[in-house]
Structure 1
């Protein structure tokens, strides 16, 4: 979905996989398990946040090697175009999934637009 819309550059998928192998992003949060894979800004043609709610949880290794693998209920791919810009976005996303009501709002969405709206409400 991202490539045809001009959001990512050549080599993006391999770059995401390589970074995830080196720096896993699975987070077992109090209200929901999430993963926030991303890559260097050089692979981002224009900024985006892509949210995926898989039919079944997808297992990611735990961030910073802290704990068991994480069955992510939501996968949020950050396309941050500015170096160092991930930190602020990561903190905002983590805050959503530490809040039981905000996480329930996001997890309860059944349409793509509903998911976008829920993330924006709490971001």
Structure 2
């Protein structure tokens, strides 16, 4: 297994957003100002989410894994946002339905060849309800990061 590119500073706890688009716009602005993505990233990820939704009904705690085409990213990185209040994302498996998401795992890819391996590893971790519950209960970002290190 490869090591997932998760940095402590990329984990945000108790975050509040009005809705899916509010989250995607604000994260896009932060990533652009940090130099991690190219112009057009926010529009691309919002449009992609409309066509290929990323909400996953994983059980009691649901997640979303928004991402877009690699040409908008300057790096491969993972950002984890634990929400104070869940927000609706359209479901990946039933795009006409929504799911209330409590954890968002946003992925940047700078190379399309990295995508399948990272998604596979992530899915093994983020479909584990015990791990998701512990992420929700985390008081410090390092508690979330430890779950990914333990499970790798």
Could you state the TM-score of these two structures normalised by the residue count of structure 1? 0.85
- Size of the aligned set, in residue pairs, is 123
Where 1:53 maps in the other structure, the secondary structure is strand
Q: CA deviation at 1:5?
A: 2.4
Counterpart position of 1:89? 118
Q: CA deviation at 1:114?
A: 3.0
Counterpart position of 1:116? 145
Show structure 2 runs of 5+ residues with no match.
Answer: 1-29
Distance of aligned partners of 1:122 and 1:32 in 2 relative to their CA distance in 1, 3 Å threshold: farther
Q: CA deviation at 1:54?
A: 1.5
Q: Which runs of structure 1 show a deviation greater than 4 angstroms over 4 or more consecutive aligned residues?
A: none
Q: Which has the higher contact order (CA 8 A, sep 6+)?
A: 2
Where 1:121 maps in the other structure, the secondary structure is helix
Of the structure 1 ranges 71-80 and 96-105, higher mean CA displacement relative to structure 2 is found in 96-105
Could you state the TM-score of these two structures normalised by the residue count of structure 2? 0.71
String of CA shifts for 1:6-60, please: whole Å, max 9, x gaps: 2111111101001100100000113520000000010101111011112110100
Show structure 1 runs of 5+ residues with no match.
Answer: none
**The structure with more strand, counted as a fraction of residues:** 2
Query: d(CA) in 2 for partners of 1:5 and 1:117?
Result: 25
